[in-house]
Amino acid sequence: MRLSDPSLLKEQCYINGQWVGEPTMAVTDPATGAELAKVPQFGAEETREAIDKAKAAFPAWAKKTAKERSAILRRWFDLMLENKDDLALLMTSEQGKPLTEAAGEIVYAASFIEFFAEEAKRIYGETIPSYRADARIVCIRQPIGVVAAITPWNFPAAMITRKAAPALAAGCPIVVKPASETPLSALALAELAERAGIPAGIFNVVTGKASKIGGEMTSNPDVKAITFTGSTEIGRLLMEQAASTIKKVGLELGGNAPFIVFDDADLDAAVEGALASKYRNMGQTCVCANRIYVQDAVYDAFAEKLSAKVKEMKVGTGTEEGVVQGPLINMAAIEKVEEHIADALGKGAKVVTGGERHALGGTFFQPTVLTGVTPAMMVAREETFGPVAPLFRFSEEDEVVAMANDTEFGLAAYFFARDLGRVWRVGEGLEYGMVGINTGIISTEVAPFGGVKQSGIGREGSSHGVEEFVEIKYMLMAGL
């Protein structure tokens, strides 16, 4: 890994404006297994220290004017874009996604900082017509206090900025625990935060033992909000733990996204949408199409067109030119993909393309398309989190909406159709927080991202993204 600015590679944690800790925990490149760096293995004690320091830094940050906080955030945004190539290379090295995708994530991640730098100035209060003549009602929105964030490896930069930018904009300090697979992107963000002039104690990064750090974050009474992106299982655990101190909880959890192709769809657009939604980040995103439902009349044509495109996908190390599919994150990911494919084949599905580990070895897997998939198979119920497109056949609109909703998850859904009545019926009928209609990509900083059912609580991005980090105070001003 050759960075043009080697000082972006950090091997220590960032607490209260200091680089601290002994690097002991290896960070590896999933494409090669090679060690890239080491980071500290911190636990409860260091996390408590970070929370204490954040608490101490909070009043001065909250007292700054919105415009002052905005200017500092804006510098952070500019620095991310100026260092885009290095940040992307760091990300590809520790996470595996192709370099162009990593660069895309840096721009996406930075966009949250830009958006919330602007939004900082618009965290408005309200006045309410009073119920008595001698009094007035005023509401103000105040920063909630110290925020703790736990983030996953699939978007090593964006899942941090999507939480940190609104928290900081609102006037809160944050302590971030990045995924142990991808701490280097988080630490590089801290370096840029420091250069941007974010004061000591306001943006902190703690790496190490997840359960110890998470345990402290959820039990420490000085933490007022916990924001998490990751599995439903860990989200449930953190929510339980946070109950003891009644923290505000924001959760972005697993999905099981349906992707429906109706017979009136533009089929080529549907194929492009499916490719983008299914194979981005090798299928390792919580909004990736997981179950692809195709109506009878277009099933065979869709399967053929999709497979033809999937066969052309270049698999390899993310830094190699033209590669669109990198390695999966680890062996456990490969095993889950294999288990889902074996289960489907055992119950009558067919492989149209792919289906096996890639000749490159390691955690490389062939992008796969399966036909003849039914609701009895594991792929129908569980998130595969890998490059496997299972094609289900359906005939009726009501039937497919019912199948699409038959899951405890409710994050993203997609469908392709042209009939206006159908577009509205299906759009409203899908029990999901986000619905992509005639598109496979929905993520943007300007719209609210989040799920219903067991996919989460709260929304990130857009003006709604600030809500997690403010409390509304109502003041009744009487004696007029």
| Per-residue DSSP letter, 454 | G
C-alpha pair distances (Å), 250 with each of 112, 229, 238, 244, 446: 17, 8, 10, 16, 18
The Cα–Cα gap between 383 and 106 comes to 25
Q: 18 or 180: whose CB is closer to ligand ADP?
A: 180
**Residue 211 within binding range of ligand ADP, rule CB under 6 A:** yes
Q: 209 or 464: whose CB is closer to ligand ADP?
A: 209
| Phi (first) and psi of residue 413, to 5 degrees | -140, 155
Q: 106 or 179: whose CB is closer to ligand ADP?
A: 179
Enter the tokens of residue 216: 């402290």
Q: Which stretch, 56-64, 173-181, 335-343, 427-435, contacts ligand ADP (CB under 6 A)?
A: 173-181
- The residue number with the shortest CB distance to ligand ADP is 214
| Per-residue DSSP letter, 274 | H
Find the shortest distance in angstroms from Cβ 370 to ligand ADP.
Answer: 23
Q: Starting at the edge strand that comes first in sequence, how are the strands of the sheet with 470-477 ordered?
A: 126-128, 136-143, 470-477
Q: 233 or 321: whose CB is closer to ligand ADP?
A: 233
| Phi (first) and psi of residue 373, to 5 degrees | -85, 140
Find the shortest distance in angstroms from Cβ 15 to ligand ADP.
Answer: 17
Q: 231 or 405: whose CB is closer to ligand ADP?
A: 231
Q: Residue 252 catalytic?
A: yes
Q: How do strand 350-353 and strand 368-373 relate by DSSP bridges? A: antiparallel
Find the shortest distance in angstroms from Cβ 124 to ligand ADP.
Answer: 33
Give the x-and-dash track for 425-464 against ligand ADP (CB under 6 A). ----------------------------------------
Contact residue for ligand ADP among 214, 283, 436, 465 (CB under 6 A) = 214
**Residue 230 within binding range of ligand ADP, rule CB under 6 A:** yes
Find the shortest distance in angstroms from Cβ 262 to ligand ADP.
Answer: 32
Give the total of residues touching ligand ADP (CB under 6 A): 13
Q: 156 or 367: whose CB is closer to ligand ADP?
A: 156
Give the x-and-dash track for 297-336 against ligand ADP (CB under 6 A). ----------------------------------------
Q: 174 or 369: whose CB is closer to ligand ADP?
A: 174
Q: Which stretch, 206-214, 259-267, 388-396, 436-444, contacts ligand ADP (CB under 6 A)?
A: 206-214
Q: Hey, which residues does 228 pair with through a beta bridge?
A: 150, 251
Find the shortest distance in angstroms from Cβ 289 to ligand ADP.
Answer: 18
Q: Which stretch, 86-94, 175-183, 418-426, 454-462, contacts ligand ADP (CB under 6 A)?
A: 175-183
* Burial readout 196-210 (b: 16 or more C-beta within 10 A, e: otherwise): bebbbbbbbbbbbbe
Contact residue for ligand ADP among 70, 93, 151, 363 (CB under 6 A) = 151
CA torsion, points 175, 442, 464, 433, in degrees to nearest 10?
-100
Conformation bin of residue 382: beta by default, left when phi > 0, alpha when psi is -120 to 50: beta
Among positions 234-273, residues that touch ligand ADP (CB under 6 A) are 234, 237
The Cα–Cα gap between 83 and 188 comes to 10
Find the shortest distance in angstroms from Cβ 253 to ligand ADP.
Answer: 8
Kindly tell me the burial class for residue 188, based on how many C-beta atoms sit within 10 Å of its own C-beta (0-12, 13-18, 19 or more).
buried
Is residue 473 classed as helix, strand or coil in its secondary structure?
strand
Contact residue for ligand ADP among 9, 91, 150, 341 (CB under 6 A) = 150
The Cα–Cα gap between 31 and 307 comes to 25
Cα radius of gyration (the chain): 23
Enumerate helices (H) and strands (E) in the chain, giving the number of each: 14, 20
Give the x-and-dash track for 110-149 against ligand ADP (CB under 6 A). ----------------------------------------
Among the listed residues 252, 383, 460, 468, the single catalytic one is 252
Find the shortest distance in angstroms from Cβ 170 to ligand ADP.
Answer: 23
Q: Are 189 and 196 in contact (CB under 8 A)?
A: no
**Residue 223 within binding range of ligand ADP, rule CB under 6 A:** no
Find the shortest distance in angstroms from Cβ 238 to ligand ADP.
Answer: 6
**Residue 400 within binding range of ligand ADP, rule CB under 6 A:** no
**Residue 180 within binding range of ligand ADP, rule CB under 6 A:** yes
Alpha helices in 356-407 (DSSP H): 378-381, 397-405
Q: Are 110 and 326 in contact (CB under 8 A)?
A: no
Residues 6+ apart with CB under 8 A from 401: 425, 426, 429, 430
Closest CA to 275 of 338, 356, 368: 368
Find the shortest distance in angstroms from Cβ 476 to ligand ADP.
Answer: 41
- Catalog residues that contact ligand ADP under the rule CB under 6 A: 150-152, 177, 179-180, 210-211, 214, 230-231, 234, 237
Q: Which residues are catalytic?
A: 252
